[in-house]
Amino acid sequence: MFGMTSAVLLKADPNVEPEPILLGGGDTDKVSEIQEKVGGHFDVVRRGAVDTSGANKSFQIVGYVHDEGRILNLPLNPMATMLFEQNIFGDVVLVSATNPETDENDGEDYDLPVAFSQYLIQGMYGEMRESMAFSKFISHALAKATVDKAISNTDALEFMTWLLEQETKGEPMGRLGDMPEKFIAIIQKAVAHVTDTTEDDDDN
């Protein structure tokens, strides 16, 4: 962990955008900097990715995560959970583990490729926020339709159980086309009910 490294900080708060940071540029060593960012001793998670900026080289992403995040009840980090396809709790620091000159993972930290950092900030974050807003709207429509008996309690419970399973696996609902047809029909019915009742209110 020597020299300065371009990294990205993923905050657990979904309202905070990913933040480009430099490790090794202050008065403390990188280990202390990472501990300060994640809030304590850290563990490592990894996954492969592709740098799309030029030669489409593959590289390995390293995520430094709080090693007792779950035990300490730190908030689920939705972006990190999506990225690493496992539940990640608390703030996360991302770097590359792949030496850009040798294409090998030699145990050191390297700069995240610029294109990947931009994707996190400009692409993935927006997709996550859009998905979360969509999920919130659907949950509201489902609740109102259930109260008004436009859909059955059984259908609502089955859908909410499925949705919880998706979020636990780090797979946000996304768009209607991403879900089973049975649930598409339930959601369409709930949304139609909310739309109809809203129009009735406007007429009155």
Q: Which residue has the tokens 């209607």?
A: 176
Pair 156, 142: CB distance under 8 Å = yes
What does the pLDDT read at residue 137? Answer: 77
pLDDT digits (tens, 9 = 90+) for 79-124: 888 888 888 999 999 999 999 889 899 989 999 998 889 888 888 8
The stretches in the chain having pLDDT less than 70 are 1-2, 25-28, 53-56, 167-178, 197-204
Q: CA nearest 69: which of 93, 94, 43?
A: 43
What does the pLDDT read at residue 1? Answer: 46
Q: How far is CA 83 from the centre of its chain?
A: 6
Half-sphere exposure of 136 (CA within 13 A, CB side): 6
Amino acid in position 53: S
Half-sphere exposure of 124 (CA within 13 A, CB side): 19
